Amino acid sequence: MRAAAARSARIADMEGAPMARRKKIYEGKAKILYEGPEPGTIVQYFKDDATAFNAEKKDVIDGKGVLNNRLSEFFMNGLTQIGVPNHFIRRLNMREQLVRNCEIVPLEVIVRNYAAGTMSKRLGIAEGTQLPRPIVEYCYKDDSLGDPLVTEEHIAAFGWASQQDMDDILSLALRVNDFMSGVMLAVGIRLVDFKIEIGRVFDGDYQRLIVADEISPDSCRLWDIETGQKLDKDVFRRDLGNLTDAYSEVARRLGVLPQSNVTKPTLIN
């Protein structure tokens, strides 16, 4: 009982704790990871930074981190509801969430329903062409190499994941795809493609794989079904307008931000 009270006090303390008091574990392009309040947890902080083309294009987009924190919470909670294991524990505040610490498998797992981006370029298929079935691709996570596409042969030969892991990763990726496609379809949005990352967690001697990192418009391609309007990071990559407006629209349709609290204050004369 006392342990539980101490634990909740520690967690409550984290919510208001200034960032300086936490130990930074890692800083990436869009997120910072801090040590969590309990062993096996970390705090994931969403920055406003946007990068594209392997960080050749950079900007700070007001409110992006707040939106991605909320949207990733929404998708991960939905996955939990349908029994897809993932790292999310709970949201702490506007920009931070508590997640399970895990060992990230060094692969970007991409699922595509419609051709776009690098697949369109590589294979000469017009953007927006529906694929005969969802296609799963793997890229080796290494920014200095530009995350190159790899096959299961590379993955097995270099020991990045075992054959059992690959079976589990494929089934997680396809379940996330069905869930995300359905959630988006219900609000008039087409899930063109997305990327997930997978984490390894250990329960004693037993290891299992869970969905980790984030699921947000930064890592998905989302098009309005009626108009084809892009509501994802391509707005930034291709200079198509205001990125926060696009992400707010996704959040609004999903009921994640009923009254958008990321709009700027208006001056009353």
Q: Where does this chain bind ligand CDP (CB under 6 A)?
A: 108, 110, 116-119, 147, 193-195, 219-221, 233
Considering the complex, state which of residue 92 and residue 243 has its C-beta at the smaller distance from ligand CDP.
243
Considering the complex, state which of residue 50 and residue 92 has its C-beta at the smaller distance from ligand CDP.
50
Nearby residues of 110 by Cβ (< 8 Å), 6 or more positions away: 136, 137, 138, 139, 193, 194, 195
Considering the complex, state which of residue 130 and residue 163 has its C-beta at the smaller distance from ligand CDP.
130
Which residue is nearest to ligand CDP, using beta carbons?
117
Considering the complex, state which of residue 38 and residue 160 has its C-beta at the smaller distance from ligand CDP.
160
Least gap, CB of 261 to ligand CDP (angstroms): 25
Considering the complex, state which of residue 110 and residue 161 has its C-beta at the smaller distance from ligand CDP.
110
The tokens describing 179, both together, are 């869930």
Least gap, CB of 120 to ligand CDP (angstroms): 8
Least gap, CB of 137 to ligand CDP (angstroms): 7
Phi and psi at 101, nearest 5°, equal -70, 135
Least gap, CB of 153 to ligand CDP (angstroms): 19
Considering the complex, state which of residue 220 and residue 231 has its C-beta at the smaller distance from ligand CDP.
220
Least gap, CB of 263 to ligand CDP (angstroms): 25
Least gap, CB of 220 to ligand CDP (angstroms): 5
